[in-house]
Amino acid sequence: MKILSRNTHNTHNAQTVSYIDTQAVSGHKVLRNTYMLLSMTLLFSALTAGATVAFAIPGPGILLTLVGYFGLLFATTKLQNSAWGIASVFALTGFMGYTLGPVLSHYLGMAGGSSIVMTAMAMTGLIFMGLSAYVLISKRDFSFMAGFLMIGMIVAFVTSLGALFFQIPALSLAISAMMVLLMSGMILFETSNIIHGGETNYIMATVSLYVTIFNLFTSLLQLLGVIEKE
């Protein structure tokens, strides 16, 4: 009986190790595919934003922006398991690049605007790479942040609408600072979620990280723009 129990225990341990190894391989595959698609969508989005700036194309307005964003996000979610999901990702990120163009035009028109944009871009890249590297090296599980981040995003979204409609600059600045912290947390959470098997679809992982980077960049732009004016 003891020998049978020991053999059963060893078999269970072997199965557990095998499952963990399989999960790790799967997580790294999703991460690799995510980073590849993310780099392509960021480039495509940058080209779209650059074209919008170059041809002075006006922004779509808040209503069309929200409809376009949530509509394309819904389509991407529905198509995430098909080849059309990739096309939907490029449509979503291209649209967001288009909405970013007028914002870039605004800052580039300011004194020292080019410096503001380049600094925001550099800071975004450093924050993303630094936090992602920390998760990959430490392999820490940041899933415990899910509830906090969700509540924070809801509060930030609602208050940002209030700041927009009631034109409260101080509140907008506070929201931008809050968004930098929230997006930093999202980078930790999303990267951890991928490598630990919480997110197994690289299309949705790409969308999550892209939106995080987009929000981080625009929030840093606003903060640096205010500092430049001081």
What tens digit of pLDDT does each residue of 24-42 get?
556 688 999 999 999 999 9
pLDDT tens profile 134-174 = 999 999 999 999 999 999 989 888 888 777 777 777 777 88
Cα-Cα-Cα-Cα torsion 6, 12, 17, 20, nearest 10 degrees, comes to: -160
- Which residues 6+ apart lie within 8 Å of 112 measured at CB? 228
The predicted pLDDT at position 24 comes to 53
The answer to whether residues 195 and 27 touch, using CB atoms and an 8 Å cutoff, is yes
- Spatial CA neighbour of 143 closest among 193, 185, 187: 193
The predicted pLDDT at position 117 comes to 95
pLDDT < 50 stretches in the chain:
1-2, 4, 12-21
Whole-prediction pTM value? 0.85
